[in-house]
Each structure stands twice: as C-alpha cells, then as structure tokens.
Homo-oligomer: A and B are copies of this chain.
Amino acid sequence: MHAEEPIRPVRAKRLPRAVRERQILDAAVAVFSRLGFHAASMDEISEVAGISKPMLYAYLGSKEDLFATCIRREATLMIEAIGDGVRPGEAPDVQLWCGLRAFFGFVGEHRASWQVLHRQASSQGGPFAQELADMRGRAISLVAALLMHSADSQGVGHASRDTEGLAAALVGAGESLADWWLDHPEESAAAVASRLMNLVWMGFGDLVEGRVWHPPAKG
C-alpha cells in the first residue's frame, strides 16, 4: 500500500488558467456578497474556490484588485442583460417597462451579483464607489433621455434638470425595491417590476382611484 496517499479529497487538479480564474471570481462574488469587502478574507475565498491563496494572488492580484474585477464583471453582465431586454422603437412607457423587467429579472437570477454591486460596493470608499457611481450615472442618463423624449413628444417644456432628478429617483427606487425584494422573495420578477412601473408611471394619485397601468397585450 502507498504511504504517501494525499489526505484531502479529490480537488480538480491542474486546470487551465481561464477556468481557474472563473472559479475564483465566482467564489469571490459569493463571499463578498455574504460578508462585505472588509469582513471577507482571502483565505475563505481561496477555500471556496478550491485553490490555495498564492494562486489567488498570482491570478487576480491584491484583494482590492479582485474586488474591482468582480464589480466590473457583474456590472457588465447586468448592463448587457438590461440592454438585451429593451426595445428601442417602442413607446416610452413600454420601453421603461421592458427595462424594469429585465433589471428585476437579472437581480432575481443573480442575487449575489446584485448584493456585491449595490450593497457592498456602495459602502466602500475607494475606487469602487466611483466605478459604481459611473454605472448608476449611465442608468440615470438613459432613463432621463427616455423621459425627455416622452415629455418632448407631449410638447411640454420641462427644465431638463427636473427630469434628471426624477430619473435619479426612479433609479434609486429600482435599486431599493430590488434590495427589498431580496428579503421578500415570494413574488416573481415580473410582479415586482409591474409594481414599480405602476408606482412611477401612474402615481398613487391615480392608483388609489383605481387607474392602473398594464403592459400591451403581447406580453
């Protein structure tokens, strides 16, 4: 019998770099989302990734580098998901509806991603917050453009500053509603999206009188 049998269980060995990097990033997102940047330890991330710490450093650099890479990857995924969901030619309310549905769909299927992006990154001071602020800024501009166009087509000459602020409020509402949804997961993504759509398009004033918004019949 062999005396030098390895003690630890089979751990996939000698995988190509690209695969390991993916594993590491997946593990890092999971741990960061659960513990936050500071409380997460590189030891735990390497353990979850099934790899030793020096590999982690060799592939992804310092802890801050790793966190920034996580943020960039998840943000890119999310922006793509929303971009795929939206339909440029439609009426403003339908476009907004599609965007919201895509957003909540993404959050529902990538909870850890969302927590890293929103909850964790926004409470770290460094370059992360900047990165996130940029992404949020793009979302706000997008919504603002939508509203501007909508207002123009109605011949209303609102100040653009006002529209910008409303867009920021809507984006904020979406972010917080997503957070809330994580703690009340009994609803579908479409139901949550519909809720926000009604709130921001119709307003309470209409809703309490029974006027609601619903998507065009084609779904």
Binding site for B on A (CB under 8 A): 34-36, 38-39, 92-93, 96, 119-120, 122-125, 133, 147, 150-151, 154, 156, 158, 162, 165-166, 168-173, 175-177, 179-180, 183-184, 187, 192, 195-196, 198-210, 213
Contacts and interface: CB of A to CB of B under 8 A. Distances in A.
Give the number of times this chain occurs in the complex, counting copies.
Answer: 2
A80 to B, nearest CB: 23
A201 B203 contact: yes
Contacts of A177: 168-169, 172-173
Given A38-B38, A92-B208, A200-B204, 8 more contacts: A34-B125, A119-B122, A150-B204, A168-B180, A169-B199, A173-B173, A173-B176, A200-B200
A125 B34 CA distance: 8
Interface centre among A35, A169, A171 (most CB of B within 10 A): A169
B209 A205 contact: no
Contacts of A180: 168-169, 172
Contacts of A162: 195
B199 A202 contact: no
Contacts of A208: 92, 147, 150-151, 154, 156, 158
Contacts of A207: 151, 158, 166
A172 B93 CA distance: 21
Contact of A200 (B124, B171, B176, B199): B199
Nearest to A152: B208
B38 A166 contact: no
A175 B108 CA distance: 21
A147 B209 CA distance: 11
B125 A35 contact: yes
A184 B208 CA distance: 32
A151 B192 CA distance: 20
A205 B122 CA distance: 31
Contact of A205 (B34, B196, B202, B210): B202
A36 B93 CA distance: 39
A143 to B, nearest CB: 10
A190 to B, nearest CB: 13
